[in-house]
């Protein structure tokens, strides 16, 4: 795998950007730049596997294609048009553009998505002679872009569905806590796995389960069956399996003092089911 560094963005929980940046630095050994709801960094392509499999505080890992300031839809189109998409999409692959916009602008998020989509088609056709297919429902490649005031970036979603969905959850609590928020709270509390962690209103058990997974060094990717990068031309299933195997090697089957309490028998039953699905019911 090439050792060249690429630009990345990663989305995370608002308010926990510094904590997420620290996690990226610990996992990759690179400096991460926190921003609002996201962070930016440079790393080898292998970061795609490492972060998607092992990160606990990130939502999506994005391979950046362009980042800078823009003032209009025309500038957004020009920025997106500069990218050589032939390096990232095969001729028969479909794509979709998803856009988010924050601030006051004389256009909408849908306008941004349309402008970027047209730029992708025009750029690809110019360099290859092929007109890429658009598939808004189930694209092979999802291009994400965000405009906050004048700051704009676009990139390829390597994750797919957000990493905060751990896939061990078989019971959905009516006010379920996000797994990334639960992990952030655990880290901020300064909890040590040698000491009891008690959740007096445990609900579906998210805090306790995430604490158990953290203490046991179990990678969240153990429970995720599919990633967007499975369809990308510059990644491989063999590399994914190698990174997952290596991450699982570091997992330790240790007992951790964890206690959950709730007034609802239904919630406790659901928490037990979730803990069993996450393979940590023996320590909660």
Mean pLDDT of 151-156: 98
> Does 67 have pLDDT greater than 60?
yes
Per residue in 88-135, pLDDT tens?
999 999 999 999 999 999 999 999 999 999 999 999 999 999 999 999
Structural domain boundaries in the chain: 5-157, 164-216+255-284
The model's confidence at residue 3, banded by pLDDT at 50, 70 and 90, is low
Mean pLDDT of 247-274: 95
> Does 1 have pLDDT greater than 60?
no
What pLDDT is recorded for position 80? Answer: 98
Q: Which CATH architecture does the domain made up of 5-157 adopt? A: 2-Layer Sandwich (3.30)
What pLDDT is recorded for position 182? Answer: 98
What pLDDT is recorded for position 2? Answer: 53
- Decide which of 3.90.650.10, 3.40.50.720, 3.40.50.150, 3.30.70.20 is the CATH code for 164-216+255-284: 3.40.50.150
The model carries a pTM of 0.94
CA distances 111 to 42, 76, 99, 108, Å, are 29, 10, 9, 5
What pLDDT is recorded for position 253? Answer: 87
What pLDDT is recorded for position 93? Answer: 98
Average model confidence (pLDDT) across the chain: 96
Mean pLDDT of 44-73: 98
What pLDDT is recorded for position 251? Answer: 92
Determine the distance from the C-alpha atom of residue 206 to the mean position of all C-alpha atoms in its chain, rounded to a whole number: 18
Strands (E), the chain: 5-12, 32-35, 38-44, 58-69, 94-102, 133-134, 141-148, 151-157, 197-199, 258-260
- According to DSSP, residue 176 is labeled P
Mean pLDDT of 168-190: 96
């Amino acid at each position: 795998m090439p050792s060249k560094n690429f630009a990345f963005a990663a989305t995370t929980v608002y308010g926990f950007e510094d904590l997420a940046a620290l996690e990226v630095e610990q996992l990759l050994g690179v400096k991460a730049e926190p921003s609002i709801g996201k962070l930016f960094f440079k790393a080898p392509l292998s970061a795609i596997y490492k972060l998607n499999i092992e990160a606990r505080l990130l939502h999506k890992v994005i391979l950046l294609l362009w980042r800078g300031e823009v003032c209009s839809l025309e500038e957004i189109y020009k920025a997106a048009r500069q990218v050589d998409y032939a390096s990232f999409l095969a001729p028969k692959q479909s794509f979709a553009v998803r856009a988010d916009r924050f601030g006051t602008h004389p256009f909408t998020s849908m306008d941004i998505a349309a402008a970027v989509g047209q730029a992708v088609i025009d750029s690809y056709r110019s360099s290859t002679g092929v007109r890429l297919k658009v598939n808004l429902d189930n694209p092979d490649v999802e291009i994400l872009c965000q405009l906050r005031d004048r700051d704009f970036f676009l990139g390829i979603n390597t994750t797919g569905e957000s990493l905060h969905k751990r896939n061990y959850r078989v019971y959905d609590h009516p006010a379920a806590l996000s797994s990334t928020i639960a992990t952030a709270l655990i880290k901020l509390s300064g909890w040590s796995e040698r000491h009891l962690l008690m959740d007096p209103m445990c609900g579906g058990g998210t805090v306790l389960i995430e604490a158990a997974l953290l203490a046991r060094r179990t990678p969240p990717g153990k429970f995720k069956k599919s990633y967007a990068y499975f369809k990308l031309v510059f990644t491989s299933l063999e590399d994914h399996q190698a990174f997952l195997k290596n991450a699982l090697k570091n997992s330790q089957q240790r007992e951790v003092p964890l206690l959950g309490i709730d007034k609802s028998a239904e919630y406790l039953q659901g928490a037990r089911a979730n803990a069993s699905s996450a393979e940590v019911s023996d320590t909660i």
